[in-house]
A and B are shown apart, each in its own frame.
Chain A
Amino acid sequence: MIHSHLVTLLVFSFLVSTVFATLLRDTTRARLRFVILAFAAFVLSTLALGWLMSPFPR
């Protein structure tokens, strides 16, 4: 059972990025690059949104 919000985000981002990379790229090198970029985009955008929403907890 995952109890950490951050670990949940990391796991979700990795799995979804992996599927999209396998769907959208044809070579291993391109897939790895896509996974890294998509994973970073997921995580960083979530952290940025969380930070922007932090003044409005309710």
Chain B
Amino acid sequence: MSAAVSPARDVAQALPAGILAWLVPGLGHVYLRRWGKGVVFAAAIFALFVLGVVMRSRLQLHLGLDDPLALLFSLAQMGAGVPYFVARSLGYEAGEVTAVSYEYGNTFTAVAGLLNILVVLDAVDTARGRKP
């Protein structure tokens, strides 16, 4: 961390960077002017998520504790941010359980969300000066 940057400013940058990174994959790094990383994250995570939706993934919203695995799966998908909610609003939430690619689609969308959670943490660390 640079000595010229105060901890208060670090936090002030880390919070919007983390929120933007979650909302739109890659946007947190673009906000921090890490253009290259932002573009790579956006392209890869969007591609994973869109391919998952095209493969008829279910985009369930399960927030109860009655089925912990469904809750974890739902949280993983929500990690993708706005694309997840846009896809749901466009009518893709049900998926197609009989499709050959259904399980692949589930894997793609969940992994897209999980990777975006790592990208959010990377954006926060970058804002705080813990990473270059």
Residues of A within 8 A of B (CB): 1-3, 8, 11-12, 15-16, 18-19, 22-23, 26
Knowing A1-B101, A3-B100, A22-B37 touch, does A12 contact B108 (C-beta < 8 A)? yes
> B111 near A: Cβ within 8 Å?
yes
B59 within 8 A of A: no
Q: Which residue of A lies closest to B46 (CB)?
A: A15
Q: Is the interface of A mostly helix, strand, loop or mixed?
A: helix
B115 at the interface (CB under 8 A from A): yes
A-B CB contact pairs (8 Å), 25 listed: A1-B55, A2-B51, A2-B54, A2-B55, A2-B101, A2-B104, A3-B100, A8-B101, A12-B104, A12-B108, A15-B44, A16-B48, A16-B111, A16-B115, A19-B40, A19-B41, A19-B115, A19-B118, A22-B37, A22-B40, A22-B41, A22-B44, A23-B119, A23-B122, A26-B132
